[in-house]
């Protein structure tokens, strides 16, 4: 049996995965970085708590880094640095805010052989799974166009700085893209967003 994947967590701005790894048979958290001391769960009190991303990247025991960076406009370059440091990456959405940076992430992943994956739990839950089954079974015929709408409330707890989570358009828009690609099995050829 293969050993557990050793995971480092960076940041808390998003859906960090530490609770999913609690007593997980195939993965374990071995380090955190960018966590306020009062946000580190008790069961992780014995893992390394690094001050900087550079320190996290230098930890040879870490195989994968889960990114929930404080600013998504910096996260893309941080991901590239992690891939170049020989770490696989799992990143909160949006993984970056510029297409050029996304191209850099993809190129770094190919060049280094390290895997990159943007967080995507929604494709494995309802109603996505049933919708995907209906499409694959041909129950609705050939999918040629998709229109979708998703919204989040504009409340005090939403970040007002788009650098933090990409803003409502880039943060929420990813769900619409995933509906098309993961449920309908289509590649997006054009996209129109209104905010």
Residue 116, beta-bridge partner list:
89
CA dihedral sign of residues 77, 82, 84, 89:
negative
Under a CB-based contact definition with an 8 Å cutoff, are residues 12 and 39 in contact?
Answer: yes
Q: What per-residue string of b and e applies to 127-150 under the rule 16 or more CB within 10 Å gives b?
A: ebeebbeebeeeeeeeeeeeeeee
% of the chain with per-residue pLDDT over 90: 55
Distance of CA 195 to the CA centre of its chain: 23
Please write the tens of the pLDDT for every residue from 136-145.
999 989 888 7
Q: In which band, very low, low, confident or very high, does the pLDDT at 1 lie, cut at 50, 70 and 90?
A: very low
What 107-110 contacts at long range (C-beta under 8 Å, 24+ apart), as own/partner pairs, is 108/79, 108/80, 108/83, 108/84, 109/83
CA–CA separation, 80 and 104 (whole Å): 7
pLDDT single digits (tens) 106-131: 999 999 999 999 987 777 788 888 98
pLDDT of residue 158: 78
pLDDT tens per residue across span 174-195? 777 777 788 888 777 777 776 6
Q: With the C-alpha atoms ordered 181, 186, 187, 189, is the resulting torsion angle positive or negative?
A: negative
CB 7 within 8 A of CB 21: yes
CA pair distance 130, 179, nearest whole angstrom: 12
């Amino acid at each position: 049996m293969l050993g557990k994947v050793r995971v480092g967590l960076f940041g808390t701005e998003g859906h960090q995965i530490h609770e999913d790894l609690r007593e997980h048979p195939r993965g374990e958290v071995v380090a955190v970085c960018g966590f306020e001391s009062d946000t580190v769960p008790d069961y992780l009190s014995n893992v390394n708590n690094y001050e900087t991303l550079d320190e996290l990247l230098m930890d040879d025991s870490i195989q994968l880094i889960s990114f929930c960076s404080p600013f998504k406009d910096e996260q893309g370059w941080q991901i590239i640095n992690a891939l170049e440091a020989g770490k696989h990456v799992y990143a909160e959405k949006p993984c970056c805010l510029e297409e050029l940076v996304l191209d850099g992430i993809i190129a770094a992943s190919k060049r280094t052989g390290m895997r990159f994956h943007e967080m995507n739990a929604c494709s494995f839950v309802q109603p996505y799974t049933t919708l995907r089954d209906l499409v694959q079974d041909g129950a609705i015929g050939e999918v040629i166009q998709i229109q979708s709408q998703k919204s989040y409330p504009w409340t005090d707890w939403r970040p007002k700085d788009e650098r933090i989570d990409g803003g409502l358009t880039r943060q929420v828009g990813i769900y619409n893209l995933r509906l098309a690609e993961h449920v309908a099995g289509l590649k997006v050829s054009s996209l129109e967003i209104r905010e």
